[in-house]
Structure 1
Amino acid sequence: MSVLTSVFIIDPPDRLDPPTDTSLALMRESINRGHRVFFCTLADLRLENSEPRARVQAVKFIPGKELFETESSVDFALGASDILYMRKDPPVNEVYLHATYLLDRLPARVLQVNPSRALRNHCEKLIPCHFPDLMPETVVTRNPNVLAAFLEKAGRMVVKPLEDCSGHGVITLTRDEPKPLARFSESTGDGERYVQGQMFLPQIAEGDKRVLLLGGEILGWIRRIPASGDFRSNVNAGGTCAACELTEGDRAICGRIGRWLVREGIHLAGVDIVGEKILEVNITSPSCLREMNELTGARLECRILDYLEALRPH
């Protein structure tokens, strides 16, 4: 196979957590296979005469160091890449969405993981709406009064910003909350932004299952357990990881979601399962690959690269 060129769009390197970062594992394996690997951030992107371009830096790993070394940036036509990984973490804000418009201009020969169209068209927390029987009772609104009415009915609920990740801004309230409207006004920015209100699932005390899907098929899985005194299982929110087994129900859920992902052209995704429900489907920067590797001895990044190399047009 000829040498492939891979470009990773990521957060600034100083914001990464190298021991747990999935993008770094993919970069290392790409380099091991002889790929040319570059990275850039959203700030480096531009559209010039309908051509997506970026100031990119070559990636080089030094033995004994988790984070790559940076080099001088060079101007690069992104259409000359073979694989482009859009792995900028949320928030999926105006800047992020505008970046997807730029990436829409890439030629079809560039394999996007995941495609800009899918990232723009699908909110991770709302993908479960395509499977209403798998979604906890949910309301999406910017009206604090609607959230208050939902809380009265549910007894306990979780409120999540639609655009963020890693448990940022996620709160839980019970019916005896002394000033719920004040909390809801804060979450919605006084009614300026939409949030998701969701029935609290008591099973979250045992954690959720993060399942990675590749090409619609199960790649790996792990249980994420909330820290003591918290209900959020996100690793970045203090959650810990443990090995687990998938039930027949879990596999059936992933089969349904996997078929939908394939139809939407989404290559890599992370599904969060609690009990018999799904909380979200992560498509922006699916994570926990490193934790899965550590607990199972697998090297899931190898399977991802096998899949992408086979898929890339020749």
Structure 2
Amino acid sequence: MSLRVAVQMDPLESIGIAGDSTFALMLSAQARGHQLFHYLADQLSYEDGRVSALARPVTVQRVQGDHFAAGEPVRLDLARDVDVVLMRQDPPFDIGYITATYLLERIASETLVVNDPRSVRDAPEKLFVLDFARFMPPTLITRSLAEVQAFRERHGEVVVKPLHGNAGAAVFKIGRDGANLGALAELFTHVWREPFIVQAFLPAVADGDKRIVLIDGEVAGAINRRPGMGEIRSNLAAGGSAEKVELTDREQEICAALGPELRQRGLLFVGIDVIGGMLTEINVTSPTGIVAIDRFNGTDTPALIWDAIERRHAEHRST
């Protein structure tokens, strides 16, 4: 069955198609005969009980610089004119992002939204993970310099990062001497109104940070991301490199614990990050990594995601 799919994401003009997960999903959808539309989050509107978006019909191809063709914009009623909305814009997870989830939640009884907008709103990456604290490194969330200093004294080297950051941006390592910790805490409290996160540094990051992708609660694949020279950040967007990897018993245990909760929340496409057997993040807003996973494993993760979406859509229609 052909589906009408509206993709809420960043501008198509600016993406790097070689590794972009959303673009891979669009190619896969198109190959199945699904019709694609593209719009930006700020093109959502609400009027008289209806949620709409000014969207362009698009076709895609794997040719950088000539990777899409778009028709004239049309006003889509997202409850009546489409079958699936893919919410795939990149963070920051700010008030604009949250507002988009509130609007999309209003159509969720009529149109399948992936990932579920209420669950996305209720599960920011560095807070949802606290539900599984038994798998995490020692973690502090605060705006208090005194709390941060006491935490560093207990745990030695620490990592400080924004609570709602992404792609490894503004992640800092503080050594055992605590040098610059006060200035960094001051900067964070000045730039962001919310608390920030501090975690015990995991030396195992030198061996890599595993990105594990789960589809409807089941493991689909993983890659190991190694930091670049002189870096602690292993995000591919921050210069990390990817390599093939297998899951350990500990990582399988983590995935088994997360799976039922992800499925129950309607979080179909999730990427978790694990360093040295420690769970650090659960990425639900716009997970990445599937292109690299497929390159190393010879798999077709976008097809698995669409299999799950099509199953959920069939269930959605029958309720």
- TM-score range normalised by the length of the shorter chain: over 0.9
For 2:172, the equivalent position in structure 1 comes to: 171
Name the CA shift for 1:224/1:190 in 2 (closer, same or farther; >3 Å).
closer
Moved over 3 A (4+): 62-66
Q: Deviations over 1:238-278 (max 9, x none)?
A: 00100011112211110101111112221110011112210
Root mean square deviation, CA, Å: 1.5
DSSP-derived class of the 2:190 partner: coil
Distance 1:237 1:260 in 2: 30
Native 8 Å contact 1:85 1:114 kept in 2: yes
Q: Shift in Å at residue 213 of structure 1?
A: 0.3
Distance 2:144 2:44 in 1: 36
Letter in 2 for 1:72: E
Distance 1:227 1:85 in 2: 32
Name the stretch that deviates more: 52-61 or 145-154.
Answer: 145-154
Distance 1:220 1:191 in 2: 34
Letter in 2 for 1:53: S
DSSP-derived class of the 1:253 partner: helix
| Count of residues paired in the alignment | 313
Distance 2:307 2:82 in 1: 18
Work out the percentage of aligned pairs sharing the same amino acid: 33
Name the stretch that deviates more: 83-92 or 14-23.
Answer: 14-23
Name the CA shift for 1:128/1:13 in 2 (closer, same or farther; >3 Å).
same
Q: Deviations over 1:153-199 (max 9, x none)?
A: 21111111111210011111113243321111112227733111111
Letter in 1 for 2:270: A
Q: Could you list the runs of 5+ residues in structure 1 that have no partner in the other structure?
A: none
TM-score by length of 1: 0.95
Distance 2:230 2:180 in 1: 21
Name the CA shift for 1:190/1:40 in 2 (closer, same or farther; >3 Å).
closer
Letter in 2 for 1:218: V
Native 8 Å contact 2:115 2:269 kept in 1: yes
Distance 1:225 1:63 in 2: 27
For 1:68, the equivalent position in structure 2 comes to: 68
Native 8 Å contact 1:270 1:286 kept in 2: yes
Asked if 1:302 corresponds to 2:307, the answer is no
Distance 1:8 1:212 in 2: 20
Distance 1:279 1:178 in 2: 24
Q: Shift in Å at residue 70 of structure 1?
A: 2.9
Matches within 5 A, 1:1-314: 1=1, 3-62=2-61, 64-65=63-64, 67-79=67-79, 80-189=81-190, 192-313=193-314, 314=317
Native 8 Å contact 2:4 2:84 kept in 1: yes
Q: Could you list the runs of 5+ residues in structure 2 that have no partner in the other structure?
A: none
Name the CA shift for 1:240/1:308 in 2 (closer, same or farther; >3 Å).
same
